Amino acid sequence: MAPVIEVRTCRTIAGEREALIEALTSRALPAHRDIGIKTLGPFLSQDDAITFVWLRAFPNAESRERMKEAFYGGDLWLNELEPAVMPLIAHYESVLVEDTMGLWETWPDQSYDER
């Protein structure tokens, strides 16, 4: 099975992009990394002040389901992040793509506490 990458687009409530990005980079994305999910971003939209994109990579589609359950079923998401960040989001979507370029093996190590 090939690695897969989620391309995640998030549109925030006006004026809330920085607050959401702070919550993601300080809490959610490091937790993803601890589970084994590789992340990259956020990448800020040049078209508006409410949109950003970030990437999540998984070893394969099967592991993606287990890893997502580990995150979204965990205490950090359920009791802390979900109630704090979901009100900041106007819309989000993701597209799952196959890693046809071998990015999983060369994924940059991004430390969010060094941003």
Helix (H) or strand (E) segment spanning residue 67: helix 61-72
Instruction: Please tell me the pTM assigned to this model.
Output: 0.89
In a domain, 89, yes or no: yes
114 assigned to some structural domain: no
Is the residue at 112 inside a domain?
Answer: no
Residues 6+ apart with CB under 8 A from 54: 8, 10, 24, 29, 39, 40, 41, 42, 43
pLDDT score recorded for residue 111: 59
CATH code at 55?
A: 3.30.70.100
For the cut 60, the answer to whether the pLDDT of residue 33 exceeds it is: yes
Rounded Cα distance between 12 and 3, Å, is 29
pLDDT digits (tens, 9 = 90+) for 96-114: 999 999 999 999 876 554 4
Count of domains observed in the chain:
1
Match 């960040």 to its residue by tokens: 85
Average pLDDT, integer, range 45-60: 97
* 69 vs 114, residue with greater confidence: 69
